[in-house]
Chain A
């Protein structure tokens, strides 16, 4: 079936450090891949997405590249800020599962000044 695996948190970084949050997936066919972010006390916001292999999604300095050969969609940011502290969720949708979102468990990021 379809599944998403994220690196476990929490991740703690200093401001301006480089961020990588690993995400791998299992799916048949060609899923669409997403990163969502949840700030404390809020709902989920779409951060970026990629709908086909080798696509790079980017937003607010975050990037992720759809790698079909390694079934990965790792989230990266070159220089994190305190305001990036949140929980990050990797997710996929797939025509084979009627396009409902399949979620990773989330990775908590804390950025210290």
Chain B
């Protein structure tokens, strides 16, 4: 079966712009989580959606937002980009958050210049 698909794979944006990243989970998975990975901070949790509702949120500013559609596909948006937002953004899906483990996509590499 198809894995978790993230688009685009690479993105270059200018400070102040906004960006939208997309994630298509494994068919049947209802939970989608987003993580930011940077060399300095490691992996940090952004938010989790389950059945179109945000169920968990990490400690990121309001510039970071997300949503989930009825087909479980999810998008995250970052507005007013800053240089420090440059990172690998990873999406993970799970049938149900918790003990089942998560399947990750290959990520979107965002570079802010």
Q: Do the beta carbons of A100 and B42 come within 8 Å of each other? A: no
Bin chain A's interface residue count. 20 to 34
Q: B42 near A93 (CB under 8 angstroms)?
A: no
Among B42, B99, B103, B107, which residue has its beta carbon within 8 angstroms of that of A105?
A: B42
Closest residue on chain A to residue B101 by CB atoms: A46
Q: In the assembled complex, how far is the CB of residue B110 from the closest CB belonging to chain A, in whole angstroms? A: 14
Contacting residues, chain A, for B44 (C-beta < 8 A): 103
**Chain A residues with Cβ under 8 A from B74's Cβ?**
none
Query: Is B105 positioned at the interface, with any CB of A under 8 Å from its CB?
Result: yes
Determine the chain B residues whose CB is within 8 A of the CB of A106 once the complex forms: 42-43
With A and B bound together, what is the CA distance between A51 and B107 in angstroms?
26
Q: Please give the number of chain B residues whose Cβ is less than 8 angstroms from any Cβ of chain A in the complex.
A: 24
Residue B55 at the chain A interface, CB threshold 8 Å: yes
Pairwise interchain contact B43-A103, C-beta atoms closer than 8 A:
yes
Q: Are A100 and B106 in contact (CB under 8 A)?
A: no
Question: Taking the nearest CB of chain A, how far is it from the CB of B68, in angstroms?
Answer: 15
Chain A residues, Cβ within 8 Å of B43: 89, 101, 103, 106
A44 touches B42 (CB 8 A): no
Chain A: CB-nearest residue to B55: A98
CB distance from B43 to the nearest CB of A (A): 4
When distances are taken between beta carbons in the complex, the residues of chain B under 8 Å from A42 are 106-107
Q: Is A99 in the interface zone, CB < 8 Å from B?
A: yes
- Known A42-B106, A43-B107, A44-B90; contact A103-B99, beta-carbon cutoff 8 A: no
Instruction: Determine how close the nearest CB of chain B comes to the CB of A3; give it in whole angstroms.
Output: 12
With the chains together, A64 CA to B48 CA distance in Å? 27
A-B contact pairs, 15 of them (CB 8 A): A44-B90, A44-B104, A45-B104, A46-B101, A98-B56, A99-B97, A99-B98, A100-B33, A100-B48, A100-B97, A101-B33, A101-B92, A102-B45, A104-B42, A106-B42
